[in-house]
Amino acid sequence: MKRICIFFVNYGPYHLARVQATYDLAQVCHYNIIGLELARNEVEYSWITETSELKFPLYSVIKDKVLQEIPQAKTLYKLTLVLNSLKPDVIAISGYSHPAMLLALGWCLWNKKIPILLSETTEQDFNRRYIQEKIKSWIAQLYKAALVGGKPHKQYLIKLGIKPEAIFMGYDVVDNFKFSPDQIRSLPCPVEYKYFLAINRFIPKKNLITLLRVYSVYVQTDTLNSWHLIISGDGELRSDLEKTIIDLKLSSRVHLTGFLQQEQLLPYFAHAQCFIHASTTEQWGLVVNEAMAAGLPVLVSNRCGCFQDLVLEGINGFGFDPHNPEELVNLMLKMSSSEVNLEAMGAASLKHIQNFTPEHFARGLKQAIDYALERY
């Protein structure tokens, strides 16, 4: 039985759902699924995830400390020991930039095992430099197959030199069932007003200062019918956001919830009127999946990796240029007017996101593994 190791930096709710679905599918095709993470805890994502009832084994290289507290050389050494112990036949590796992911790739090549690339990188994520892209192309072609989020991610890997037939879809999914309107609509409404919802880390690329300025214009344009704005999350820009809210005199209409775990977010998804994701760059944007699974219309920056695959223009929402504030103002006015059928848009979101499920991830990864095993 082939041992398939699925390697992430840290297993959060998204990863658990994906690998659980892969485990279920693997029982039919007789693959042995192993979960591997660098650390149970890390700084960037403060997930609290329950792992005691998992069907698949999950190994943590660092178990009792935050990843960033451990010297990188020690982490890489311990990762090597774990891989030598597990002896996987295939490793699905999340990305090619983190040193630990490169080590896993090198381990596969040294031991004549099969590396599968898990990628959500698009060409427009960053300003690309020729030398860096040549090096990246050389690295990418060492993988035997790839699983990507959607169309722009596949296009980028093809440009890096991976064969189109070796690239499969389904990487960026969440557990849709957890956000289903049937599951969450009975949750108590956390507020007494209609609202737009945004969920982000408070970092520059999330474009939240611009969102606040856009929202200020929106309120001034339609004071009587305007909705409130709830922003959930935390991060380095929190004090800047708080100052901007005060400067724009929005304290009574913009509400910061702080960082919330997935379960705590469900009431906000359940009762929002519309979801906004305004990033200037985003490899995918899994919160958009969550919003659609909750049956919400969406306004999504066209710089998000999920835009091409998830947004059906005028059907379940709209895309916008994150550098064009006027465009977003007009869309917010449209959503809170009687111009659009919010219920129909939400239903379209819910229907479309059923094409992006953990089972979709499992099928795509199996296709990538089968492709690689047949050829190498």
Average of pLDDT values for 272-283? 97
Cα–Cα distance measured from residue 216 to residue 328, given in angstroms and rounded to the nearest whole number: 12
Average of pLDDT values for 312-327? 97
Please say whether the dihedral angle defined by the alpha carbons of residues 142, 145, 149 and 151, taken in this order, is positive or negative: positive
> What pLDDT sits at residue 224?
85
Compute how many other C-beta atoms are within 10 angstroms of the C-beta atom of residue 369: 25
pLDDT in tens, 112-168: 999 999 999 988 777 778 888 898 999 999 999 999 999 999 999 999 999 999 999
Residue with tokens 């958009």: 288
C-beta of residue 303 within 8 angstroms of C-beta of residue 124: yes
Exposure of 239 in the CB half-sphere (CA atoms within 13 A): 1
Where exactly does CATH 3.40.50.2000 map onto the chain? 2-173+357-375, 177-355
> What pLDDT sits at residue 223?
85
pLDDT higher than 80, residue 348: yes
C-beta of residue 269 within 8 angstroms of C-beta of residue 291: yes
The highest-level CATH class for domain 177-355 is: alpha beta
Calculate the average pLDDT of the chain: 94
* CATH of the structural domain 2-173+357-375, one choice from 3.40.50.2000, 1.10.10.10, 3.40.50.2020, 3.20.20.70: 3.40.50.2000
Contacts of 110 (CB under 8 A, 6+ apart): none
pLDDT higher than 90, residue 244: yes
Average of pLDDT values for 227-253? 97
pLDDT in tens, 155-179: 999 999 999 999 999 999 999 999 9
Q: Is 262 helix (H, G, I), strand (E, B) or coil?
A: helix
pTM of this structure: 0.92
Residue 4 in tokens: 């398939």
Average of pLDDT values for 288-314? 97
Cα–Cα distance measured from residue 177 to residue 181, given in angstroms and rounded to the nearest whole number: 9
> What pLDDT sits at residue 257?
97
Amino acid at residue number 169: M
Average of pLDDT values for 67-89? 92
pLDDT in tens, 93-107: 999 889 999 999 999
Cα–Cα distance measured from residue 354 to residue 350, given in angstroms and rounded to the nearest whole number: 7
Dihedral (C-alpha) 46, 5, 288, 292: value to the nearest 10 degrees? -120
Nearest Cα to Cα of residue 303 among 286, 289, 283: 283
Phi, psi (degrees; rounded to nearest 5) at 202: -85, 75
> What pLDDT sits at residue 43?
67
Q: How far is CA 310 from CA 76, 254, 272, in A?
A: 36, 27, 19
Cα–Cα distance measured from residue 84 to residue 118, given in angstroms and rounded to the nearest whole number: 21
Angle formed by the axes of helices 13-29 and 358-375, nearest 10°: 50
Instruction: Quickly list DSSP for 46-113.
Output: ------TT-SS-EEEEEEEEEGGGS-HHHHHHHHHHHHHHH--SEEEEE-SSSHHHHHHHHHHHHTT-
